[in-house]
Amino acid sequence: MDSYVPEDAGTKKDLFESAHLAAIALGLRPSARSILSQLVGFFREPINGLYLVWPSNEFLSDRTGLSDRAIRYAIGELIRAGVILARDSANGKRFAVRSKQGQILDAYGFNLSPLLARKDELQARTDAIREFQRARMALFDQITICRRAAQEALYALSALEMSIDTSDLQAEYERLVALSPRRTSSQPVEPVLSLWQSLKTTLEDRYNAACGGKNSRLIENNKDSPDQSCNKRQRDNESEINLPDLCAACPDAFGYVESVGNDRELLSAAAGLRGAIGIHRSAWDEAMEKIGPLRASAAFFVVLEIYSADQSGEMKIKNPGGYFRNYVRMIESGQIDLAEVIRYMRRKKAH
């Protein structure tokens, strides 16, 4: 029975567009998609208002590389999905009925009219699927943001106070990494996102508490032009670094140098020592550019102090070069207040 005849004649381009929409909206398997594409490609022009095609299985096999059995399964899937109709001849073969002059009068094979008739429906379903996928990808993006924030907070806690116990938070972080679904999976995302947001909040609260209740995130509040703002903020931040406080906060680190009496000697000492613990020249240049020479030098001695004092055997800083590079980026982004860290470490050493 021929039905689903479209009210308006469609072109071959319309058929290809409908086939593409059907593949997405109906979730067709790859084999069915391939066969549908070949059926549309076989089409030439409507016959008596019907979109008829009659390719043999041999033709379809040559074009797709599928076996005869796979072709039959794919055709059955397309018929069940309601995008094509079978037009069987008496002997089960597919062929065109021609006049004596060679004009095609009818054909036995498949009717593609339902595919074209359902184009608007398929478009609506495809749009809904794509919107769902966009919303789902946005949730995965939020998970990525929370995961990175949690990782940076763990680094910050380790740098802020060497004796702080973050084993429970590290274990929860690793559990959530294993629990998080892949973007290609069909598992629900919202429950995992909620857990990541909770961990992120917990880590930030613990970090702020360790800073004495002071939120150490950068607050951007100026009306300078972009270049003036950057230069002014770098000068202001460098003026916050107090050399006596730094020396008191990092006694083990300064034990590697003879004496540091001014900022120039501090910079020279840091530049001379950075290679000894595996900090690459590119990481040092990046630090100088991003946070300024004085803060880069102070950050180096803070990292060296943590690295030197770590005698636990676990080696919290397994890669000093990578740790220093990440530490500098967190200072630049405002996630670590270097001056506050130095004051905190000095107070800890005094007790």
Q: Which amino acid is at 210?
A: A
pLDDT recorded at residue 281: 86
pLDDT > 80? residue 285: yes
pLDDT at 233 over 80: no
Banded pLDDT at 219 (limits 50, 70, 90): very low
Rounded mean pLDDT of 16-38?
92
pLDDT surpassing 90 at residue 70: yes
pLDDT at 208: 77
State residue 220's pLDDT score.
36
User: Is residue 172 predicted with pLDDT exceeding 70?
Assistant: yes
Say which residues have a Cβ less than 8 Å from residue 203's Cβ, sequence separation at least 6: 149, 150, 153, 154, 157, 169
Task: Indicate the pLDDT class of residue 5, thresholds 50, 70 and 90.
Answer: low
pLDDT at residue 9, as a whole number: 59
> Is the per-residue pLDDT at 235 higher than 60?
no
Which of 214, 200, 211 has its CA nearest to residue 160? 211
Span 330-345, pLDDT tens digits = 888 888 888 888 888 8
Mean residue pLDDT of the chain comes to 82
Going from N- to C-terminal start, the domains of the chain cover 12-117, 131-210, 226-350
Percent of the chain residues topping a pLDDT of 70? 84
State pLDDT tens for residues 111-169: 999 999 999 999 999 999 999 999 999 999 999 888 888 887 877 777 665 556 778 88
CATH code that applies to domain 12-117: 1.10.10
Q: Is residue 335 within 8 Å of 157, Cβ to Cβ? A: no
Does residue 25 have a pLDDT over 90?
A: yes
Convert the pLDDT of each residue in 102-123 to its tens digit. 788 888 889 999 999 999 999 9
* Alpha-carbon 295 to chain mean position: 32
pLDDT at 21 over 90: yes
Query: Where is pLDDT greater, at 316 or 214?
Result: 316
Q: What is the pLDDT of residue 310?
A: 62
Nearest to 112 by CA among 59, 64, 75: 75
pLDDT band of residue 316 (cuts 50, 70, 90) is low
Query: Model's pTM, two decimal places?
Result: 0.53
> Which pLDDT does position 132 carry in this prediction?
92
pLDDT at 4: 52
Please name the amino acid found at residue 276. A
The percentage of residues in the chain with a pLDDT greater than 90, rounded to a whole number, is: 27
Say what the pLDDT of residue 73 is. Answer: 94
3-state secondary structure the chain: CCCCCCCCCCCHHHHHHHHHHHHHHCCCCHHHHHHHHHHHHHCCCCECCECEECCCHHHHHHHHCCCHHHHHHHHHHHHHHCCCEEECCCCCCCEEEECCCCCEEEEEEEECHHHHHCHHHHHHHHHHHHHHHHHHHHHHHHHHHHHHHHHHHHHHHHHHCCCCCCHHHHHHHHHHHHHCCCCCCCCCCHHHHHHHHHHHHHHHHHHHHHCCCCCCCCCCCCCCCHHHHHHHHHHHHHHCCCHHHHHHHCHHHHCCCCCCCCHHHHHHHHHHHHHHHCCCHHHHHHHHHHHCHHHHHHHHHHHHHHHHHCCCCCCCCCCHHHHHHHHHHHHHHCCCCHHHHHHHHHHHHHC
